Amino acid sequence: MNNPKPVAALVANLNPENMPSLQVAQPVKVDANTKQVINDLFDRLKGLYPAWKQAWPTDVELRAAKLEWLAEFMRAGIRQLEQIQHGVRMAAKDRSAFAPSPGVFVSWCFAPEAFGLPDAERAYKQALRNTHPSQTGHCTWAHPAVYHASVAAGWYSLQRLDQSLGFKRFEQKYLEQCQKLGRGEVLSPSPVAALPEHAGPRTPEVGRAALAMLRKTVAGGK
């Protein structure tokens, strides 16, 4: 008997063209390779979630769930092995005993960390700082995704909403930017902070001249 292959290795062979759509009313045909991928993925999920039978109590429901997950992967535009790997890693960190919905798992695949970006909390803190009026023209952004999420969330709203509501709004827009990256879209660059004006040479002569000018101004005002 062959040793089972790791889920990550099998996911590399996921072919979107072979993923069935649940909207098709015809009998669904899944090629052997894709079937192996999804079966191994679900075996891994069963190992991570002791209460998985709450979601898939019968074989019929389990088979239907596998088709639903395949269709959700296709709809979400998941194309990279790293995304699936990250979803599995996030599942391994999940403390729930109950299996996630396909939508939740897909959101894990698009989590910012999968693209080397700051997590949502750190990105939100930067958004709050950079959207303050005092930072206009002087802020730097960790990644264009953080900037575009801030714009989409609304700079005014981020500054005035309660932080729990503001974070929820920002997180949604941030995830949308991550989904664009996952689909291979290129985000336009974020603005570059203006460089400070050159103050000129600093020498004792310059300092004495400035002091003399200040004294002259003060004396003239008396």
Domain chopping of the chain, boundaries: 7-109, 117-216
The yes-or-no verdict on residue 53 having pLDDT over 90 is yes
Model pLDDT, residue 32: 83
Going 52 to 80 to 113 to 187, the CA torsion angle's sign is: negative
| Position 149, amino acid | A
Contacts of 205 (CB under 8 A, 6+ apart): none
Once rounded to an integer, what is the mean pLDDT over residues 2-20? 50
Question: Within 10 Å of residue 135's Cβ, how many Cβ atoms?
Answer: 13
Once rounded to an integer, what is the mean pLDDT over residues 142-165? 93
- pLDDT tens per residue, range 157-183: 999 999 999 999 999 999 999 988 888
pTM (2 d.p.):
0.62
Segments in 49-143 forming alpha helices (H):
59-76, 81-93, 102-109, 120-130
> Taking all residues of the chain, what is their mean pLDDT, rounded to a whole number?
80
Model pLDDT, residue 179: 87
